[in-house]
Amino acid sequence: MTMLKERAMDMINNMPEEKLYYVVQLLESVDKLSENVEKGDKTPEQRALEDLQRFRKRSDVEIDYKAELAKAREEKYANID
C-alpha cells in the first residue's frame, strides 16, 4: 500500500462515524467524474452548458459600460437631493 493510501485509511479510521457520509459522497462524485473523463462522456451539466453556448450570440455593438453605469446612477439618484 502506498503512503498516500495509508494516510487516507488512517484519516478515515480516526474520523467520527457521522462524518463518513460526506467522505463517501465525495469519493462517489470523484469516481463518477473520473469515469466520465476516461470514457470521454460528458456530464449532463457539461452538455447543458454546451447547449447554452451554442445558442449564445455575439453582439456587434460596442457597449460603453462605464457610461451606461453613470447614466443608470444619474437616473436612480437624481431626486435624492
CB 33 within 8 A of CB 46: no
Among 1-5, 19-23, 34-38, where is mean pLDDT lowest?
Answer: 34-38
Q: Residues 42, 36: contact at Cβ < 8 Å? A: yes
What pLDDT shows up at residue 13? 92
Record the pTM: 0.37
Amino acid identity, position 4: L
Evaluate whether 27 touches 35 at the Cβ level (below 8 Å).
Answer: no
Cell numbers that stand for 23 in this block: 467522505
pLDDT > 90? residue 63: no
